[in-house]
């Protein structure tokens, strides 16, 4: 199965994508160069030319702040992608969820080594062996709900059911009727089920839904006014490009406007809507130690080697944090995401002094995804 097909069908809002975020020494709201950046725009135009409807890129580094846009806001339309659009960030949501859980660990309210059974008794078969840590780094072995036959995430059935509300408990139950991939701690496999359970644990510990805790602990303190956890609301509440998905895997498959859908099917694994600037500000605060205590940030950045599973030498996964090698020898620390109609590529240098975010809509070809990853790599390596 192709990378793009796995992203759209099997992992919904959570396929592993190259992260990229460059934090700059300039203020988070520094104005980009007037008219955008020509070299960056040329790279972004390749993302569109190789198989996307529209794309937007935002780069921040020691040289300042650059943005670019390519393609159109609607399929076959003439209006360009909006400046500084909102978009569905998919599994970038996971880093926010992991951050809240690690804050609770730092407050002594739970431990990474607590079994799931302690907080969600009777929910997970064998829950005594599945720890909070194993949820956050995907070593639990739990089946990914997005692969269950009764969770349509692609094609005509998904389009017909896109406004249905999926309670988290229902999706967890559907996932756990399937056998685990491996015994807890005996392997690595990306599973969105892990983060539904993480969201449920946040609610059990705090007495408040994970979305409220993310808002209270992260969004408000950092002033992330363009980041939303929409719950069951299908709308994107601000300027945005439309998202499209193919109805089949055929090369000439019809693209359907999927901008509006009920994101409860993504939940704590990937429901969030945000902007490039807000994503960058979040990762800057996280990696620079302003959201977690040193001990918890060290836990988050301690990675499991996933080179074999991804086919990428040097790839690793921490607690809600992807670590990928760069062509220049460094690494990028962040979390990208996939959502129906939207692909997000995020990357940061470890000190968050270089950042890049790329959002693409209607991506249908692996060549387009590769162009987006190349843009991220070049931006972080200082060659773009």
Catalytic annotation, residues: 91
Residue 151 C-alpha from the chain's centroid = 20
For residues 355 and 14, the answer to whether their CB atoms sit within 8 Å is no
3-state helix, strand, coil in the chain (%, to 5): 35, 15, 50
Which has the closest alpha carbon to 16: 288, 214, 303?
A: 303
Compute the half-sphere exposure of residue 290: CA atoms within 13 Å on the CB side of its CA: 12
For residues 364 and 255, the answer to whether their CB atoms sit within 8 Å is yes
Residue 268 C-alpha from the chain's centroid = 11
Q: How far is it, in rounded angstroms, from Cα 369 to Cα 375? A: 10
Look at the alpha carbons of 65, 357, 276, 227 in this order and tell me if their dihedral is positive or negative: negative
> Given strand 304-305, what is the order of strands in its sheet?
304-305, 316-317, 322-325, 331-334
For residues 338 and 344, the answer to whether their CB atoms sit within 8 Å is yes
């Amino acid at each position: 199965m192709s990378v793009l097909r796995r992203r759209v069908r099997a992992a919904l809002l959570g396929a592993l994508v190259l992260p990229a975020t460059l934090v700059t020494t300039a203020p988070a709201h520094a104005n980009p160069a007037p008219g955008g950046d020509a070299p960056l725009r040329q790279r972004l135009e390749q993302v569109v030319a190789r198989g996307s409807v529209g794309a937007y890129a935002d780069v921040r580094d020691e040289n300042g702040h650059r943005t670019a846009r390519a393609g159109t806001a609607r399929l076959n339309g003439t209006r360009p992608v909006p400046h500084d659009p909102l978009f569905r960030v998919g599994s970038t949501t996971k880093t926010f969820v992991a951050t809240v859980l690690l804050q609770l660990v730092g407050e002594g309210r739970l431990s990474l080594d607590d079994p799931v059974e302690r907080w969600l008794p009777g929910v997970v078969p064998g829950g005594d062996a599945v720890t909070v840590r194993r949820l956050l780094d995907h070593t639990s072995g739990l089946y990914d709900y997005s692969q269950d036959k009764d969770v349509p995430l692609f094609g005509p059935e998904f389009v017909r059911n896109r406004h249905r509300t999926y309670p988290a408990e229902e999706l967890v139950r559907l996932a756990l009727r399937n056998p685990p991939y491996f015994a807890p701690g005996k392997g690595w496999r990306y599973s969105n089920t892990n983060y539904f359970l993480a969201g449920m644990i946040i609610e059990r510990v705090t007495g408040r839904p994970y979305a409220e805790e993310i808002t209270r602990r992260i969004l408000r303190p950092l002033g992330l006014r363009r980041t939303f956890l929409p719950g069951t609301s299908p709308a994107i509440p601000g300027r945005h490009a439309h998202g499209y998905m193919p109805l089949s895997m055929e090369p000439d498959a019809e693209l359907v406007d999927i901008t509006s859908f009920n994101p409860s099917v993504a939940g704590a694994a990937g429901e969030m809507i945000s902007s490039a600037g807000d994503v960058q500000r979040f990762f800057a605060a996280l990696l620079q130690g302003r959201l977690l205590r040193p001990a918890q940030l060290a836990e988050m950045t301690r990675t499991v080697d996933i080179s074999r599973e991804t086919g990428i030498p040097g790839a690793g996964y921490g607690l809600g944090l992807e670590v990928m090698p760069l062509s220049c020898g460094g690494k990028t620390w962040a979390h990208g995401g996939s959502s129906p109609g939207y692909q997000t590529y995020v990357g940061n240098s470890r000190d968050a002094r270089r950042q890049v975010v790329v959002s693409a809509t209607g991506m249908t070809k692996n060549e387009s995804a590769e162009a987006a990853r190349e843009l991220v790599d070049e931006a972080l390596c200082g060659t773009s």
